[in-house]
Amino acid sequence: MTKADDKALNYIDFLIMMLTEVIQHRNRKAIALAVWLWLAPFITQAQEIIPLYSAAVPNSKASDVQESGAESGVLKGITKPTLEFFRPAAGKASGTAVIIIPGGGYGVVVYKGEGVNTAKAMAEQGVAAFVLKYRLPSDAIMTDKKIGPLQDAQQAIKLVRENAAKWGIDANKVGIMGFSAGGHLASTAATHFDNAYIDNGNSTSLRPDFQILIYPVISMQDSLAHGGSRGNLLGKTPSRQDIELFSNELQVRANTPPTYLTHAADDKLVDVDNSIVYFEKLRRQKVPVEMHIYPKGDHGFIFRHPGWMDPLFAWMKANNWIKN
């Protein structure tokens, strides 16, 4: 008998004991506890923290940088990237997975507000959701800070695909989702997948099957770029070559993944033209793309528009990413 079997039997024995207490003494507290214990295995989402790299983290160098922000849910100083896995209930699972990349201007990671909360909502819809805790570009911890976040995004796609069978995922239904600067990272992964910035000995596809971009930074060009994101990723005086390479509207091709975009027209931090220009480039390449623009909401509107995911879920249903 396995340890899991022992644990299950012990759990059943405890339930029987509690139900006996209910029957014999009609103890209200016992009744409530017994009901909760009976339901808990069915309503609790299993969560798992998965190290992104099993060996040394690529493009890293020794430093004394320490991760902080766990209490607030806004992280910085990340040196050990991870995926946090939110499993959908077995009866709801669609086989689709999404890797969620929170934003923060490449200076912090809004891990809880944009990451964990979104992952829980996705899992409720039957999507296996993975929140990426990625390294922020920093000369203190990286040899080349420009590619560090992209390496983590590519590794996340590779890890999910290579473990698809174990995690109950269809390897051909692995998407990526990003907010703000996390949207830049997601769109970078969706437009730079032909070049592997990580070890990929199995030649696993690094192309996301779809991309979902929420008030995203897309461009690094002067007319559109969010200055803080560009400075943190490319430095204060980036080369023209780097600006163009990481301006993802310039990297769209016919095989860029199907896309969902949403933004607020009055966004004062990341100009809505980032989404509009990207939409136009995708449309001209005949890449399936849908865009929703709110007239008001400013940056981070998800915290002020509780129904913002409804049209997203409709798009996912229409494209068979989630069940109807």
pTM for the model stands at 0.86
Look up residue 118 and give its amino acid.
T
User: Checking DSSP bridges between strand 109-110 and strand 74-75, what pairing results, if any?
Assistant: antiparallel
Q: Three-class SS of residue 89?
A: coil
SS3 of the chain: helix, strand, coil, percent, to 5: 35, 15, 45
For the segment 243-283, what is each residue's pLDDT rounded down to a tens digit?
A: 999 999 999 999 999 999 999 999 999 999 999 999 999 99
DSSP letter (8 states) at residue 133 = E
The SS3 call for residue 155 is: helix
What's the pLDDT at 324? 83
Q: What CA–CA distance (Å, rounded) separates 175 from 166?
A: 18
- Which residues are within 8 A (CB) of 269 and not within 5 positions of it... i.e. 6 or more apart? 180, 226, 298, 299
Cα distance between residue 156 and residue 151, in whole Å: 9
Helix (H) or strand (E) holding 149: helix 148-162
d(CA 232, CA 139): 10
Task: Give the torsion through C-alpha atoms of 24, 29, 34, 35, to 10 deg.
Answer: 120
Find, among 313, 315, 295, 297, the residue nearest to 305 by Cα: 297
pLDDT of residue 26: 55
CA 104 vs. chain centroid, Å, equals 13
How does pLDDT run across 93-103, given as a tens digit for each residue?
Answer: 999 999 999 99
Measuring CA to CA, which residue among 156, 151, 79, 173 is closest to residue 115?
A: 156
Alpha carbon distance 190, 154 (integer Å): 10
Please determine, for residue 22, whether its predicted confidence score (pLDDT) is greater than 80. no
Four-CA torsion 259, 264, 270, 275, nearest 10 degrees? 30
Which H, E and C letters describe 9-76, residue by residue?
Answer: HHHHHHHHHHHHHHHHHCCHHHHHHHHHHHHHHHHCCCEEEEECCCCCCCCECCCCCCCECCCCCEEE
> In the predicted model, is pLDDT for residue 12 greater than 80?
no
Query: How far is Cα of residue 91 from the mean position of the Cα atoms in its chain?
Result: 23
- Tracing tokens 């995926």 back to the chain, one arrives at 83
Q: Which of 279, 313, 282, 314 is nearest to 293 (CA)?
A: 279
Q: How confident is the model at residue 155 (pLDDT cuts 50, 70, 90)?
A: very high
Tens-digit pLDDT profile for residues 28-75: 554 544 444 444 444 435 579 999 999 999 999 999 999 999 999 999
Amino acid residing at 43: I
Residues 198-213 pLDDT 10s: 999 999 999 999 999 9
Average pLDDT on 107-121 reads 97
Beta-carbon contacts of 272 under 8 Å, excluding residues fewer than 6 positions away, are 263, 264, 265, 293
